[in-house]
Chain A
Amino acid sequence: METVIRVTIIFAFITIALRIIGKRELGEMSPNDLVLLLLIPEIVSQALIREDFSLTNGLIGASTLLSLVLINSIFSYKFKRYNRLIEGKPVVLFYHGKFIEGALDRERITIDEILSEIRTTGHDKFEQMKWIVLEPDGKISCIPYREAN
């Protein structure tokens, strides 16, 4: 019983925490993010298993976590609002030659980062882009004029 509650609390906490720190942190791994993702399991593992190293506890913990992921994915698929709440919405960073400064500030994305993403699409100028969008998974989509049309 206690393991199920502990796993559920930690799962909810990490989901909300990752949602709060923003999409950017999920899309690319900076050294800072890597440290964060490596340390989280270290910190929460003791809280999850306490001093119970039994196989039963491990199986209950793992199946609870997998069940939460399954329930979460069903809810995300079935209910749009829930999906928006958990996954977030795409954010427009650039549209028709103009940067949306508020969005860049909120998502902590620099012009250089966007330029780097534009280069991966085989372009080199902002002017060639119609849309630049930050996707819910943290990736930046660059849509050039011809493709957008």
Chain B
Amino acid sequence: MKPKIKVWPFQWIGYLFLLTLPVLSIFGYFDENMMTEKTESHGLEMSINYPSKLRYGEMENLRIEVRNNTKEIFSHISISLSRNYLENFEEITFTPNVNKDYLVSFESIPKNQSRYVDIQIKGKKFGNSKGQVMLTHENRKIINQSIKTFIFP
């Protein structure tokens, strides 16, 4: 007698469900994912490298780079990150230091030079975290870029 694999119909559903998680994981669905958003305005280029997917308790780095592509010096540049984006994270550290409104200021950015803001974040609450990174020059909003991170439970 040749052995044949036979299962109850409901078992197929269970098997498929059971296999879904490892298969999706093999294809990297649950892996941490980094994204880069670039925006340019008035000769200032802002590049944000941030995690689009993160797991609970995982640490990641969010980097904002502001580059002056013009031939003149830009002064009084500030970068801010919206509070609602950071609400789902913990152990947040900014480099350079930040004030209570999550605002980092640079006195000036010489031509063809960049300034960086590094933010370390740790996933706390699962779900989508949406927010904006704003670049202002002399209190004038130049760039407003949306970012979104999904935190797996």
Partner of B3, one of A51, A56, A77: A77
B87 beta carbon closer than 8 Å to chain A = no
Bound together, the chains give a CA A4 to CA B20 distance in angstroms of 12
Q: How far is the CB of B92 from chain A (nearest CB, A)?
A: 19
Query: Is B56's CB under 8 angstroms from A56's CB?
Result: yes
Bound together, the chains give a CA A64 to CA B55 distance in angstroms of 18
Bound together, the chains give a CA A2 to CA B5 distance in angstroms of 30
User: Which stretch, B22-30, B40-48, B61-69, B104-112, touches the partner chain A?
Assistant: B22-30
Considering the complex, give the chain A residue whose CB is closest to the CB of B7. A74
Query: Is A66's CB under 8 angstroms from B57's CB?
Result: no
Q: How far is the CB of B11 from chain A (nearest CB, A)?
A: 10
Interface membership of chain A positions 36-60, coded 1 if the CB is closer than 8 angstroms to chain B and 0 otherwise: 0000000000000001111111011
Q: Is the interface of A mostly helix, strand, loop or mixed?
A: helix
Considering the complex, give the chain A residue whose CB is closest to the CB of B28. A1
In chain B, positions 94-153 with a C-beta closer than 8 Å to chain A are 123, 152-153
Partner of B25, one of A53, A60, A66: A60
A100 beta carbon closer than 8 Å to chain B = no
Bound together, the chains give a CA A32 to CA B132 distance in angstroms of 60
Bound together, the chains give a CA A111 to CA B27 distance in angstroms of 54
Contacts of B25 in A (CB 8 A): 1, 3-4, 60, 64
A67 beta carbon closer than 8 Å to chain B = yes
Query: Is B21's CB under 8 angstroms from A59's CB?
Result: yes
B31 beta carbon closer than 8 Å to chain A = yes
Query: Is B3's CB under 8 angstroms from A1's CB?
Result: no
Query: Is B58's CB under 8 angstroms from A66's CB?
Result: no
Contacts of A30 in B (CB 8 A): none
A63 beta carbon closer than 8 Å to chain B = yes
Contacts of A53 in B (CB 8 A): 56-57
Contacts of A77 in B (CB 8 A): 3, 5
Bound together, the chains give a CA A81 to CA B143 distance in angstroms of 66
Partner of A52, one of B3, B15, B55: B55
Query: Is A78's CB under 8 angstroms from B18's CB?
Result: no
Bound together, the chains give a CA A55 to CA B58 distance in angstroms of 12
B19 beta carbon closer than 8 Å to chain A = yes
Contacts of A56 in B (CB 8 A): 30, 55-56, 152-153
Query: Is A4's CB under 8 angstroms from B26's CB?
Result: yes
Query: Is B22's CB under 8 angstroms from A4's CB?
Result: yes
What are 18 A-B pairs with beta-carbon distances under 8 A?
A1-B26, A3-B25, A4-B25, A4-B26, A52-B57, A54-B56, A54-B57, A54-B58, A56-B152, A57-B55, A63-B18, A63-B21, A64-B25, A66-B18, A70-B15, A77-B3, A77-B5, A78-B5
Q: Given contacts A52-B58, A54-B153, could you give 10 more A-B pairs where the C-beta distance is less than 8 Å?
A: A1-B28, A4-B22, A4-B25, A52-B55, A53-B57, A56-B153, A63-B20, A64-B22, A67-B22, A77-B3
